[in-house]
Structure 1
């Protein structure tokens, strides 16, 4: 049974590392802040959660599991807030670019 759990743990850690690596490549390669924000928020959080799940499976029965659970919870709670704040700032800074948005829903907020 331990061998199966070690294989599952290694799988989660490997998948999480690959997701984090692709997110890092996206942050470097994408042209503007809004695209980079997408790469920095979604796959990075899922990759971190996958690594944490693998570590929790690997550390089964250890006291440190609860610290990993807290790290995962804080990441899930703070990543959308940070991405939203960065997105609003990037929108304000790049609003002069034509063709950036097909539908501009924030235009109404700025006119108020």
Structure 2
């Protein structure tokens, strides 16, 4: 077993476990913000671990670069999407302002 095989043997199942736990969190959590957290944080970490594990296994630098660029794109776009969905839920009245510890929206709900 090579070092690349050992690294992939750790990264790929770890990434899959993060993704599975994120999906479980989306099903089990009760409010929008908790579900949003479960849909973004562990899913992103899981996907990045899977992509790195796959990049280690590829023999081609071009394929590895494509996988790593996909990971960077994921890390750049998911926080923006999460903030947009959270703001839409807040302004749509789905998130009760009383449930927030810090309300930076100024209570400008519907």
TM range (shorter): 0.7 to 0.9
Q: TM-score, normalised by structure 2?
A: 0.87
Look up the match of 1:90. Answer: 89
Structure 2: which 5+ residue stretches go unaligned? none
CA distance in 2, matches of 1:41, 1:94: 21
1:97 Cα offset (Å): 3.1
Q: 1:12-91 counterparts in 2 under 5 A?
A: 12-91=11-90
Q: TM-score, normalised by structure 1?
A: 0.85
1:94 Cα offset (Å): 3.4
Q: Does the 8 Å contact 2:4/2:56 carry over to 1? A: yes
Further displaced range: 4-13 or 81-90? 4-13
CA 1:23–1:95: 2 relative to 1, 3 Å: closer
Structure 1: which 5+ residue stretches go unaligned? none
User: Relative contact order: is structure 1 or structure 2 higher (C-alpha 8 Å, sep ≥ 6)?
Assistant: 1
1:4 Cα offset (Å): 2.5
1:104 Cα offset (Å): 1.7
**Which runs of structure 1 show a deviation greater than 2 angstroms over 4 or more consecutive aligned residues?**
60-63, 93-99
CA 1:98–1:86: 2 relative to 1, 3 Å: closer
1:9 Cα offset (Å): 0.8
How many residue pairs are counted as aligned between the two chains? 109
What is the RMSD computed on CA atoms of the aligned residues?
2.0
